[in-house]
Amino acid sequence: MSSNPLEVIDVSLEDAATASQLVQAASSQGFLFVKGHGFNAEEVAALFDVSKQFFAQEREQKDKLAMDKSNFGYQYGVESLASNATPDPKETLNMDPLNIPDIEGKHKLESAVTKLQDLAMTIHRAFAVGLEIDESAGGAAYFDSKYAKDKPSGSVFRFLHYPGQQSLNPSEQIRAGAHTDYGSITLLFQQKNQEGLEIYSPVSKKWQAVPFIDADNDDEAPPIIVNVGDQLSYWTAGYLRSTIHRVKFPESVQRTGQDRYSIVYFCHPDDDTLLEPIPSRVIEARGNTRGANSAKETLTAKQHLLNRLSATYGWQY
Ligand SMILES: O=C(O)CCC(=O)C(=O)O
Ligand SMILES: [Fe+2]
């Protein structure tokens, strides 16, 4: 196994020590692994089966769910995450977490989404503790009111498939261009021998491969990758890092012609949430800068997402 530059943090305890570990990892690499996440190996394997089955269908069948401006649906080779690049060789299915499309295995996806939402909130609560949010502003529960489950948000549940192509030159072929994620946090499942995710480490200032990590036991699903997105970076005035990442197959994966499948949950706050610095003693102690937000006015989560989508797809809203 290649070396692992990221922390592996057990989130089952929900104590202050875990909270400070999470904040430490999120404010250095911006990427980390979590275990104790509550997913068992069987249920994650079943999610990958659903994804594989979906992508294995004829193009015509998949195009019935073709993506439109809603940001939900199927697309092949259209998205260009790095601006001005040729489209990334991959296919994706973006699903509305509150309205999973009618595909084979829909119920498994719905229960996975519920667990992912809960896991995302566990992590947000730990961030609130680690960031020392004032009790008067909600303390550990500060973020809860910004993630009402019934309100519209930019959250997306996504299947990705990168077809293995032995003919491609691994040292040149980028499978998903360099980008940061748009939401608050991203949760990502990957599978053994299908590595390919790389981060541009804020610590080493170099591209570093994110390895696959085995679970501690056969029952538990492998550790889930967590990364900070732009919205959490805004809220923390840049303290938590929305780290640049991309997908580039390592030679070991390229040689086998192996496909990569990944499953991602992009967690976003409710659309009307303001992206302004949060009442955190840790952030205030660093000086109240605007972080990644150079705009004069404070954006809402929705405005920020539309800006990013139009840059990615060339859509005009
Ligand atoms: O497939 C992966 O590992 C990365 C996907 C990703 O970064 C994204 O969809 O934003
Ligand atoms: Fe990403």
CATH number, domain containing residue 242: 2.60.120.330
Is 3 contained in some domain? Answer: no
Cβ of 240 closer than 6 Å to ligand 1, yes or no, is no
Q: What is the pLDDT of residue 287?
A: 79
Residues 123-147 pLDDT 10s: 999 999 999 999 999 999 999 999 9
Structural domain for 289, as ranges: 8-313
Decide if 67 is inside a domain.
yes
Q: How many domains does the chain have?
A: 1
Ligand 1 atom closest to the Cα of residue 266 is: 10
DSSP assignment letter at 46: H
Q: What is the mean pLDDT of residues 275-292?
A: 78
Identify whether 27 is part of a domain. yes
Q: 245 CB under 6 A from ligand 1?
A: yes
Instruction: Report whether 175 contacts 88 (CB < 8 A).
Output: yes
Domain annotation covers residue 32: yes
The closest alpha carbon to 271, from 159, 87, 147, belongs to: 147
Least confident of 133-137, 164-168, 294-298, 312-316: 312-316
At 181-226, the pLDDT tens digits run 999 999 999 999 999 999 999 999 999 999 999 999 999 999 999 9
Q: Are strands 176-179 and 207-209 parallel, antiparallel or unpaired?
A: unpaired
**Using CA positions, which residue lies closest to atom 10 of ligand 1?**
181
Q: Give distance in angstroms: CA of 173 to centre of ligand 1.
A: 15
Per-residue confidence (pLDDT) for residue 80, from 0 to 100: 55
Task: Please report whether residue 44 resides in a domain.
Answer: yes
| Residue 142 contacts residue 156 (beta carbons within 8 Å) | no
Q: What percent of the chain has pLDDT over 90?
A: 69
CA dist 54 and 176 (Å) reads 20
The answer, yes or no, to whether residue 84 has pLDDT greater than 60, is no
Q: Whose CA is nearest to atom 3 of ligand 1?
A: 197
Q: What is the pLDDT of residues 104-115, one digit of tens each?
A: 999 999 999 999
pLDDT in the model for residue 38: 97
> What is the 180 CA–ligand 1 centroid distance (Å)?
10
- Ligand 1 nearest-atom number relative to CA 197: 3
2 assigned to some structural domain: no
Residue 247: which region, alpha, beta or left (left: phi > 0; alpha: psi -120 to 50)?
beta
Least confident of 52-61, 78-87, 108-117, 202-211: 78-87
Place of tokens 């992590």: 123
Is 54 inside any structural domain? yes
Q: What is the pLDDT of residue 282?
A: 93
Ligand 1: residue whose CA is nearest its atom 1: 262
Spatial separation of the C-alpha atoms in residues 187 and 134, rounded to whole Å: 27
- For residues 19-29, give the mean pLDDT: 98
Give me the percent of the chain exceeding a pLDDT of 70: 89
The average confidence (pLDDT) of the chain is: 89
For ligand 1, say whether the CB of 264 is within 6 Å of any of its atoms: yes
Residue 83 — very low, low, confident or very high, per pLDDT cuts 50/70/90?
A: low
Dist. CA 135 → ligand 2 center (Å): 33
Distance 136 CA to ligand 1 centre (A): 37
Indicate if ligand 1 lies below 6 Å from the C-beta of 176.
yes
Is residue 1 a part of any domain in this protein? no
Q: What pLDDT score does 87 carry?
A: 53
| Nearest atom in ligand 1 to 245's CA | 7
Prediction pTM value: 0.92
What integer is the mean pLDDT of 20-25?
A: 98
